[in-house]
Structure 1
Amino acid sequence: MVLLLMGCGVQKNVDFKNEKQVRNQNSREMVGCVDEAKSFDSTHDFPYENMQAVSDEVYEVLKDAYGKMDFSVEFKGGNIEDNSEYIYAGLKRTEQEMKKIDEHFDPHEYIYYVFDMDGDSLPEICVWKYMTYIFKYDAEEDKVHLWHEIKSPWEQVFGTNKLGWNWEGVRCSMCRLDQNGDTVSGVCFMEEAAWSNGKETFLVTMPFDLSDDQKFVWTEKMENEAYYSREDDLFFFPVTKEQYQELTKRFYESETLTDQERKKVGYTYDELSGKKMCEQCTKMKAIYL
């Protein structure tokens, strides 16, 4: 089986669910270099049956890029006892802000992940129930602001400065954010079957890092082996199934670790408030933590 490796980079505030926002200076410069015969209106039009796996030389470039990608996971500052007063004050303001977002907000129906999300050594409060609202508390002004919002149940916090996405294995991504919540590096994977006559195809982005534009560099040989989708403004590289598994395995290892570590920094509303657990909080803890 031949699979596809999708090469791209990213802009700030990238939404991994919309790959049209994902760009890289190296790949953008290639648009005029790709053979017209390998340039298509969309991935729907790709000649899947005739695609050949990339050369060993190109695969080694891709493998090197994935080896440099940061898939590490760490939930820093997750001990709430170290910042109990700070967290309690932030929780009260967070509850007020959530009621502005949802007038029917019931704090007992949510899980709260409390850890240093932005890497500034102080904990943020991540309010989760299918979607996630990450609040940062300003003790001097005694108010919170919405630092980052995750609008999909498939995307989750993956530790300090990290977000991850897994839509039942069909689409996955992992990215690193800066202290402002802007995307600075990441990678994305997709499984395609609908537009390839039922043939299972996997699409994976070339890793990107905005903080180091020389970290992931395309080669001239990649120009000849890329398939370009004008609709997505993205380049694709066919690889074998074994190569695909090699490139993506560290992401899935990180996801498994994340699921374990995230529960350690998860709390119910009553736990954070220092109250006796109500029936609803007890239920939430039993199901999700």
Structure 2
Amino acid sequence: MKFGRNNTCWCGSGQKYKHCHTEIDEKIKLYRMKGYEVPNRTQLKTIADIHGVRESGLRNIELLDYISEFVVDGITTEELDQRIYQKTIELGGIPATLGYEGYPKSVCISINEVVCHGIPSEQIRLKNGDIVNIDVTTIYNRYYSDSSRMFCVGKVSNERKRLVEVAKECLDLGVEQVRPWGFLGDIGQVIKDHAHACGYSVVRDIGGHGVGLSIHEEPWVSHVASAGTGMLLVPGLIFTIEPMINMGSANVHTSRRDGWTVTTADGQPSAQWEKTVLVTKMGVEILAY
């Protein structure tokens, strides 16, 4: 859809188009003409959308802050799931994973060699030495946010602690690459470079994703891409960065039994942190962590 220069801008800012998004849209057009992959307008969030995801993100952050004190030796992952569910409802939200494509729980809890999508259970108890990823996705007033953190249970080996630390460093380095007119591949390049330099591998088949109006949107975010490739980063894009860093091989497999649980192929530990980020005119805003 074309906008007249004196029309109110499509983004909802209330400004005339010529004073708001004309320059950005023209720049996107130039990149497209040069053959670069660029987002379409439906992938760019309006002012109202950004506010909505930001509000959802605040609740997602609060949920991860809240659950941290309960990640202790002996607790079942089912109890953690129930606490997340109740707290989400208290905050006026909805657990986005509950019922999503048949997923049965309100949160993903992945322990040690489980890379992602670990299903909470009364039969699974955290124990001393475990490293645990808790991945929360929240719907608030129809808007989605998504983030995860790693937790160390009791006395964790130095090897596992280092893996958790490097995974966090990979995420933070990736976030630093988020800037207008950069590329998604810039994120993947720094993540894989740092992980490999530290002696670890990066999961190739699972990546970040757009988020905001639904749980998974375009673009897909590779954590092993090359700089200067992939979609152009444009103000208004919202997506997750969530590198999964393995101590051993990058290969993973998905459980045939439940269709969800992803584990490392060699049984070695994996660690992951996740943030939801917004590309701004000046750089990046972290909406959920």
Give the TM-score, by structure 2 length.
Answer: 0.24
Give the TM-score, by structure 1 length.
Answer: 0.24
